[in-house]
Structure 1
Amino acid sequence: MTQPPPPPPPNEPPQGGFGAPPPPPAGQPGYGYPQTPPAPPAQQPGQQPGYGYPSQPGQQPGYGYPGQQPGQPTPYGQQPAYGQQPPYGGQQQPQYAYPQGMPPQGGGGKKVNTTTAVVIAAVVAVALIVGVGVWFATSDEGGKDDPAQNSSAGSTGGGGDDGKPAPDGAGKEEKPSNANSKVLFQLPAPKVTESVAGVNGSWITDKAYVKSGLNEVVGHNLDSGAELWSIPLPGEVCAASPHVTKDNKTAILFAGPMPAGKTYSPCTEVGVIDIDAGKLLWQKSVKDGDDKIMFSEVTVGGDAVGAGGTRGGAAFDVATGKVRWQPKPNAEQCRDVGYAGGEALATVRSCGSASAPQLSIESLNPKTGAPIAKYKMPTGVDRASIVSTKPLVAAADVGDTAGDGSGVSDFFSIDEKTGELRARIPVDAEQYAPRCRDTEGCTKIVVGNGKIYVPTEEHEGGGEGGRTNEIVSFDLATGKLTGDRADAGERYTMHPIRMDGGNIIAYKYPPYDKGGQVVSINGGSMKETLLMENPADRAVRDVTTTFVVDSAEFRYADGRLFMATRLMSQERAGFKRYLAIGFGTG
């Protein structure tokens, strides 16, 4: 264990939360089949659980579905509410419980007991049902803010000329001759002796699937899962960059050796690994006096590695590990609380007091850390995320108005050369389903073709009892809905995974009797091409549904899909867990 432990987890797997039906007896059909709860009406075959009707353990709640409220136990320990960093080894990271980049100032605030939290959760769920229902019921009244009304796509997600090229060019992923996949391998969960442990990070190369395990990073054969190499580490992997350099190098943040007389080790070590060779190329830390500075985030941007935390940020040369800059106190109490990488390097910078910080989004010179462009976030923003560095796009919950724990009420499209705001894009939490946590921790959002693509909330489909959603886009220059729309299809919900040139790679979460799908959505026509359909076997679904869309790592390339967890907890009786699962076509 590397961090102070949280309260002991429940002795049993979560049972679905407030109002949940009891688990089905052995052999009884599961998700979507008729159930016999005491109060809610029985589900019909093909019907997914509705709003306010919690899912069974191991099931994936759909978009907008409040089956698992923030703060409830999950198969991987306590589910953190927004405003809390997922624990690394149990330690709460303060930058999400408090204004970003500022440590706790002690005292204050009312605590909500469990009963009150459940009641609040139920009220929020009902409000969400009503809000979403009203939106779709009244979508014919003008249609100004309705993605469906502004869409040129039909029910298949096509629309326009199917051969219309995407602005950012053609993708590399090709339609297979047979899209039906098989399970390549499953990586069993490592044995965790303490409460929880970080296993952050997964990457695909043309040689290996690379996944962080318990105090290690391991390269696996792409098709068999056999271990190709292993990098042992002195502590857990607290954070990992999603970005990889052209020569397949990436950055991780991990804990050092357990100090004598201590029960935890902080996340102080920054390293770069070669995921082709399976080598830790260098390992560095920075000090403030005699103490090593603890970080909570790490990324690769350009030729720099950036590590951020409540005490500020540091940067290192990717190739050598040479320190380029590190936290230094100043009169304005400014600090880089986190970085976002990729083609460029950007930061969320916090200045001023903990109670009223001034946040800015800055594009940086990766050699010096000097700001190239700077945009001051509006008043009422005490946390922010960076969705993309080039083009520069930020996200925030302005004044905590989203109300759904997503961390997003608005996107900010920023000119990365001048710092001028191009467009502010409101995203109503009752209509759209993006999610952002830390500086670079946004999921279900991708940027490309001069647009930002987001999923809509789950809603009723055309069939009886069916649920579905769409992926739509906003123009980064104007902030307006573009008319793009790709439909998940009856009883499916979907979210974008990544861009592939100008195409969107998306995962479709399936109904009870189908397997999940991976599709490529043409960024010009929004026509969908099926790349993969996973087995519909219940045994396979029982594994895949443990990888929660909002927090799991989804990686797709060259006909292979990998799902993995970022956090591992102690094993619980009757609940089988996996570190990762891989699928392949052909």
Structure 2
Amino acid sequence: MTQPPEPGRPPQGDGGAHDPTQVSFGKSPSQPPPPPPYGASPGTPAHAQPAAGYGYPQTPQTPPTPNPYLQQQPPQTQPAAPQYGYPAQHVAPTVPQPAAQPTAQRSEAERKALRAQAAIVVSAVVAIALIIGGGVWYSQGKDDTAPTAGGSTDGGGDAKGTGGGTEKAPSDPSAALLYQLDAPKVDKGLQVTIEGSWITKDAFVKSGVAEINAYGKDDGAKKWTIPLPGPVCSTSHHTTDDGKTVIVHEAEMPTVKTPMHGCSEVTALDLATGKKLWTKNAKNGDRAIGFDNVTLSGTTVAAGSSSGGAAWDLSSGESLWQPKVGDECQDSGYGGGEALVAVRRCGAYDARQLHIQTVDPRKGTVLSEYKMPEGVEYASVVSTSPLVVAADVGDTAGDGSGISDFFSIDAATGKLRAKISAPGDTYAADCDGITRVEKCSGLAVSGDRLFLPTEEHDTGGDGGRSNEVVAIDLATGKATGQKAEAGENASLHPLRADGGNLIAYKRPPYDKGGQIVSIDGESFKETVLLQLPADPKTLEVEFEFSPEYEEYLYADGRLFMSEVYAKDSASSQTMLAVAYGAKG
């Protein structure tokens, strides 16, 4: 599965039927850039220099997606005592790092070993947290997306995924850099989550530091701001047809002394008008629960945690259900969209049984249930219709992606349709089932097919690398034989489904601009929807972002790339987001 080449980034991801409103990604740890390739001029921007043998940048320069159950400590200090009741949110765990070396000098086996090492460290710390907490997370910190519906902005298409998409190729796909948004200011010593971005009819909407802002899609002019009492922890990538969505955030602003106040506040937003609809929380005794994920299905808002799940009516904020005190099973998270699916954890940590339940979104009653194999500790909901779940069975993925297998489930009966093996050395995708169950990236579901990218591989010749996107039939679990090739020194990264088609970002060689392409669901013919500029200055901006680690949204001829963390002034972070669109 696709992972950063260095350890330290816990699993991540965002799933569901991806739509123009959300694709969420994390970030990889900072690392010194590799030396310029042979023949590159000293003036070539670092981000535009290819690592030897790859043909395009491989090492993002920004921090990783944190494990929501861990909290990074300041350098040279011991970890702080865990704080009751809230999973850690804001920054990545400190993981021992190997001596930096150029990516191209590491073998594929070495890179996967490093990723596996990071996953082992993360899993060990999570296990310790559970043991200390007696089944309740006791740690300072945050919440995927995340990272993608009642009435979502998902593309249409028939039940077999053969319908055409809504995104049409322009007569000239050439794009310009429309604008850059400056990185928000953060107090010294802090790193704050700014996850969440959406595209509405009139605006690009993006989380800031304890606020949600809307910007003009073509000019970047601020249109409105929704202030929040504390930073965003997680967001839903689903929106209603009229632009409503939901987020989880802290109740107060963090400080260096108190870097986390718990992700307890669930807030519904109207992105069309820039209004806050309501804010709710749920209690475990006299303490507010820290939620790990939040989603939207129809008019139901559902949030899950290690203490159980809660749900509210989107319009009124009326409580639909709350966690049951003393229940041996907990709804650890939900997948939304066309249906509502709960990942329910039962039993002790060392004898966990996961139940994948399709539930009535108004009553919470179980409509169908599939029990995951014994020994599966975490699972991610990739899609709710059709129902697809990813898991790392027996910890065999070996690369920290959280995926060794996909499970295609009949939502009506709860019976397994197909188990799809997805070896980490073959396929590239990522899920964050440890932290948020609806947080898979780098894949898409359309109709009754799963679109998966392969791992990058040598193409021969001058050491070029590339990958493909393949389709897997969810009824049989077998590859359909359809394949889209990225081409020499490029790679394809699925963003979302568009009807029966697939929208993907094509990461370019170091001297060319990237592309947004539509891959026809039947012929797998590739159509360029947007061609990014290739001039050195704009390339440097493009290579500041990566689809594995940031949020990429494409809709109606515009591409938005945005950060998921804001760092203090001591960092080199300069941008919050960038926008590309047709040349004026």
CA distance in 1, matches of 2:99, 2:491: 31
CA distance in 1, matches of 2:73, 2:500: 40
Q: Which amino acid aligns with 1:506?
A: A
1:14 aligns with 2:1: no
Change over 3 Å in CA distance of 1:464–1:511 after alignment to 2: same
Preserved contact between residue 31 and residue 48 of structure 1 (Cα < 8 Å): no
Preserved contact between residue 427 and residue 455 of structure 2 (Cα < 8 Å): yes
Q: CA deviation at 1:347?
A: 1.2
Match of 1:95 in 2: none
**Which residue of 24, 27, 47 maps to 2:43?**
27
Bigger drift between 250-259 and 199-208 goes to: 250-259
Q: CA deviation at 1:22?
A: 8.1
Bigger drift between 293-302 and 436-445 goes to: 293-302
Preserved contact between residue 269 and residue 277 of structure 2 (Cα < 8 Å): yes
Change over 3 Å in CA distance of 1:117–1:403 after alignment to 2: farther
**1:343-371: per-residue Cα shift (whole Å, max 9, x none)?**
11111110000122111111110011111
Change over 3 Å in CA distance of 1:125–1:303 after alignment to 2: same
Q: Which amino acid aligns with 1:183?
A: L
Q: CA deviation at 1:540?
A: 2.1
Bigger drift between 22-31 and 500-509 goes to: 22-31
Change over 3 Å in CA distance of 1:578–1:417 after alignment to 2: same
CA distance in 2, matches of 1:269, 1:529: 42
Change over 3 Å in CA distance of 1:169–1:341 after alignment to 2: same
1:240 aligns with 2:235: yes
Q: Which amino acid aligns with 1:376?
A: K
**Which residue of 249, 252, 275 maps to 1:257?**
252
Q: Aligned runs of 1:185-584 on 2, under 5 Å? A: 185-193=179-187, 194-258=189-253, 264-331=260-327, 333-437=328-432, 438-461=436-459, 463-572=461-570, 575-584=572-581
CA distance in 2, matches of 1:520, 1:508: 10
Preserved contact between residue 370 and residue 416 of structure 2 (Cα < 8 Å): yes
Match of 2:81 in 1: none
CA distance in 1, matches of 2:72, 2:537: 30
**1:454-482: per-residue Cα shift (whole Å, max 9, x none)?**
10001122552221111001110000011
Q: Aligned runs of 1:45-56 on 2, under 5 Å? A: 47-48=54-55
Q: CA deviation at 1:113?
A: 4.9
Q: CA deviation at 1:195?
A: 2.1
Change over 3 Å in CA distance of 1:22–1:89 after alignment to 2: same
Preserved contact between residue 385 and residue 439 of structure 1 (Cα < 8 Å): yes
Preserved contact between residue 165 and residue 522 of structure 1 (Cα < 8 Å): no
Preserved contact between residue 90 and residue 197 of structure 1 (Cα < 8 Å): no
Preserved contact between residue 253 and residue 271 of structure 1 (Cα < 8 Å): yes
Bigger drift between 365-374 and 455-464 goes to: 455-464
CA distance in 2, matches of 1:352, 1:528: 47
Q: Which amino acid aligns with 2:468?
A: E
Match of 2:582 in 1: 585
1:178 aligns with 2:211: no
CA distance in 1, matches of 2:176, 2:462: 31
**1:400-434: per-residue Cα shift (whole Å, max 9, x none)?**
10101111000000011110000000011111001
Preserved contact between residue 90 and residue 195 of structure 1 (Cα < 8 Å): no
Change over 3 Å in CA distance of 1:25–1:492 after alignment to 2: closer
**1:233-277: per-residue Cα shift (whole Å, max 9, x none)?**
000010000010111100011111359995532111101111110
Change over 3 Å in CA distance of 1:390–1:427 after alignment to 2: same
Preserved contact between residue 190 and residue 213 of structure 1 (Cα < 8 Å): yes
Preserved contact between residue 103 and residue 354 of structure 1 (Cα < 8 Å): no
CA distance in 1, matches of 2:314, 2:567: 32
Change over 3 Å in CA distance of 1:34–1:256 after alignment to 2: closer
Preserved contact between residue 48 and residue 536 of structure 2 (Cα < 8 Å): no
Preserved contact between residue 88 and residue 196 of structure 1 (Cα < 8 Å): no
**1:373-403: per-residue Cα shift (whole Å, max 9, x none)?**
1111102210110000011100001011010
Bigger drift between 191-200 and 394-403 goes to: 191-200
How many residues are aligned here?
487
Preserved contact between residue 443 and residue 551 of structure 1 (Cα < 8 Å): no
Change over 3 Å in CA distance of 1:281–1:289 after alignment to 2: same
Q: Which amino acid aligns with 1:181?
A: A
Change over 3 Å in CA distance of 1:576–1:128 after alignment to 2: closer
CA distance in 2, matches of 1:34, 1:510: 10
Q: Which amino acid aligns with 1:579?
A: L
Q: CA deviation at 1:495?
A: 1.2
Match of 1:38 in 2: none
Output the TM-score relative to the length of structure 1.
0.77
1:126 aligns with 2:126: no
Q: CA deviation at 1:300?
A: 0.7
Preserved contact between residue 86 and residue 289 of structure 2 (Cα < 8 Å): no
| Secondary structure in structure 1 of the residue aligned to 2:252 | coil
Q: Which amino acid aligns with 2:43?
A: G
Change over 3 Å in CA distance of 1:246–1:389 after alignment to 2: same
Match of 2:20 in 1: none
Change over 3 Å in CA distance of 1:116–1:397 after alignment to 2: farther
| Secondary structure in structure 1 of the residue aligned to 2:315 | coil
Output the TM-score relative to the length of structure 2.
0.77
| Structure 1: runs of 5 or more not aligned | 1-5, 7-11, 36-42, 50-58, 62-66, 69-73, 92-101, 105-110, 131-163
Q: CA deviation at 1:568?
A: 1.9
Preserved contact between residue 177 and residue 579 of structure 2 (Cα < 8 Å): yes
CA distance in 1, matches of 2:404, 2:254: 42
CA distance in 1, matches of 2:351, 2:70: 25
Q: Which amino acid aligns with 1:15?
A: P
Q: Which amino acid aligns with 1:457?
A: E
Preserved contact between residue 350 and residue 360 of structure 1 (Cα < 8 Å): yes
Q: CA deviation at 1:536?
A: 1.2
Match of 1:85 in 2: 68
Q: CA deviation at 1:123?
A: 8.7
Bigger drift between 253-262 and 507-516 goes to: 253-262
| Structure 2: runs of 5 or more not aligned | 1-7, 9-28, 75-84, 88-93, 114-157
**Identical-pair percentage:** 45
Preserved contact between residue 344 and residue 355 of structure 2 (Cα < 8 Å): yes
Question: Which is greater in Rg?
Answer: 1
Q: CA deviation at 1:127?
A: 5.5
**1:545-571: per-residue Cα shift (whole Å, max 9, x none)?**
232322311111110011112222223
**1:118-174: per-residue Cα shift (whole Å, max 9, x none)?**
9xxx998435689xxxxxxxxxxxxxxxxxxxxxxxxxxxxxxxxx99744111111
Match of 1:148 in 2: none
Change over 3 Å in CA distance of 1:124–1:353 after alignment to 2: farther
Q: Which amino acid aligns with 1:174?
A: K
